[in-house]
Chain A
Amino acid sequence: MTDKKDSTAENSPAYTSNEMLLEVENLSVAFRQYNKGLQQMDLKVISSLNAAVKKGEILAIVGSSGSGKSLLAHAILGILPKNATVTGSIKYMGNELTTKDQERLRGQEIVLVPQSVNFLDPLMKVGKQVRTSVRNENPVEAQRRVFERYQLKQSVEGMYPFQLSGGMSRRILVSTAMVSGAKLVIADEPTPGLDPKIVDEALLHFKGLAESGCGVILITHDIETALKVADNIAVFYAGTTVEVAPVADFSGTGQDLRHPYSRALWRALPQNEFIPIEGVQPLPQNLPCGCFFQPRCERATASCAEKQPEAREIRDGMVRCIYAS
C-alpha cells in the first residue's frame, strides 16, 4: 500500500482515494433457473459484493470456487449469460457503467487476461496479434517497445503461438493488455496449477502493468499468489465480500485480519497452522440467515443470525462482521 488518503465522500470507504478506477458496490447477480419440475426461480449467486481498485493498484480477489469471484469479472465486462440479472452499482472512473459503456470499453480500456494461453489466435503471427490491440499510436513501434520491455526478441514477432513456450505465450498475452492502453486489467485465475517459477514470472508482469498506471484485479483461489503482488486483498465467501484488507495484514497468526473467515483461511494454509475450521461454504440454494459465515463461526451469537452485517470500514479495510475491530 502506498498512499492512502481519507476520502471526504460520505459513503465511499476510507481505503479509497480520488484516483478510484473501479468501484463495485452491493453487486448482486441472480440466475433464472429451473428447479425440479417446471417452475423457474431466481437463484442469487452473488449478493452484496463490494470491491474497489485504484489506478496503479493490484486488488486480489480470493475465494473458493462458488464464491462468485469469476462472476464479478463477467459482470464488470458485461459478459454474463442471458439468464442473469444484475443489480447494484459498478462505477468506472466515477461514472455508473452502463451496458453500452461496457461494450465500448471491453477490450479497449477494460481488458480480461484469460486463464489459458489457448486464447491466442493460433493462425496469426503474435507480433500482429499484439499490434491489432494498439489504438492511439504507431502499432509497430508500440509492439516493439512492449516486446523489448518483456525481453521478447524481435524475431518473436514473426512466430506463431505454437512456436512459443508457455512463458513466452503468457508474456504475449500481457503485452496485448499493455499496448491496448487498458486502464483496468482483470486477470481470472492466471496461474492455475503452475509451478512457482512461472507463477512468479506471470505475477511480475501484472506488477509491471500496475506500475505503468493500470488498475489490476487478480482473481485467484490461492492466497499465496495474491500475497506476492497485491496491494489489497478482498476475501469472498458465499457470494459476498467479507473483508478487504491491505496485504500486510495477512501475516503472523492472522491477528490483524478483520473477519473470522479470513483468519480461518489464513490459518489453514500449509505454511501456517494447517488447521481447518469445520463445515463447508453454503451453496446459493441454502444460504443461512443473517451472516453467511455465522454457522461456522466460533464467535457467532444470536444477533449474527438476525441480518446480514453491513460493510464497515476498519483500519484501512472493509469488513462485514458486527464483532470486527
Chain B
Amino acid sequence: MLLKGENISFGYNKGSLVLDNVSIAIAPGEVVGLLGPSGCGKTTLGRILAGYQLPEKGVVTIDDKPLPTVGFNPVQLIFQHPERAVNPRWQMRKTLNEGWHPSDDLLEELGIEKQWLTRWPNELSGGELQRFCVARALGPETQFLIADEMTTMLDAITQAQIWQVVMRIVRERNIGMVVISHEAHLINRLCSRVVDFKNINSPDLFLV
C-alpha cells in the first residue's frame, strides 16, 4: 500500500510551474526527506500529497485509490506554525480531541501535561502547541504523516523531544513519513531516503 503522487504539476502563477511533472511514492514505515531551499515547491508537494491542494495535473493515490475527500484523511499534515493550526477560541482539550481521542499514554509520551488541557492556545508556547498538533494527527486511521518544517520554529531540545516520540510511533505503527525541511542535518538524521529538490526535474530519480 503506497502513497503515490504521479506526474504532478502545479503553479501559483500562470506560465511558471512550481512543480513540473513530479512523481513520488512513499511506502508504509518509510521515512522520506524532502530537502530544498525555500520556494522550491516542497511545501506545495506536501500540501498536495495531504489533499490540501489539488494539483493542476496528475493524481495522488493511496493504495491505488484516490485520496478520500470526506472522513478522516489517512494522510495527515503537520504545519510549521502550530499557533496557526489551532483555533484560538478553543480550549486545548477540544483541539486535541477534534479528530479522535488520544490515549493518556500517548499524551504522556508526547509530554503533554494534564493541566495544559484546560488552557487557551495563547497561554502555551509554540513547542507545547506543536505537541498537541502531533497528537491530533496521530489518529488510528493515519497511515501517512507529512511534517512540513514541523520543528523549524522550535529550539533544539524541543525539536529532539518531539522527533524522538514521533519516530518511535511511526516505527511501531508502520506509518509512512515525509519530512519536509531545509535543514540537511535533521533530514540526514531522520530519513532513510532523501529527495533533493535540486534534482526535481528528473522525476524518475525518486520513484520507488
Contact = CB atoms under 8 A, between A and B. Distances in A.
A66 B126 CA distance: 9
Contact of B125 (A64, A196, A271, A277): A64
Given A195-B37, A270-B189, A64 B155 contact: yes
Interface residues of B, number: 32
Contacts of A63: 155
Interface string A183-207: 0000000001111111000000000
A63 B163 CA distance: 19
B157 A276 contact: yes
A65 B123 CA distance: 13
A276 B160 contact: yes
B201 interface: no
B158 to A, nearest CB: 6
Given A196-B182, A198-B37, A269 B127 contact: no
Contacts, number: 92
Contacts of A195: 36-38, 182
B125 A66 contact: yes
Question: Size range of the interface on A?
Answer: 20 to 34
A76 B125 CA distance: 24
B17 to A, nearest CB: 19
Nearest to A265: B156
Nearest to A62: B155
A276 B80 contact: no
Nearest to A286: B115
A170 to B, nearest CB: 13
19 contacts: A63-B155, A64-B127, A65-B125, A65-B153, A66-B125, A193-B152, A193-B153, A193-B182, A195-B182, A221-B154, A266-B156, A268-B157, A270-B188, A274-B163, A276-B157, A276-B160, A279-B111, A280-B111, A285-B123
6 closest cross-chain pairs (CB), A and B: A64-B155, A195-B37, A276-B160, A268-B160, A276-B161, A271-B185
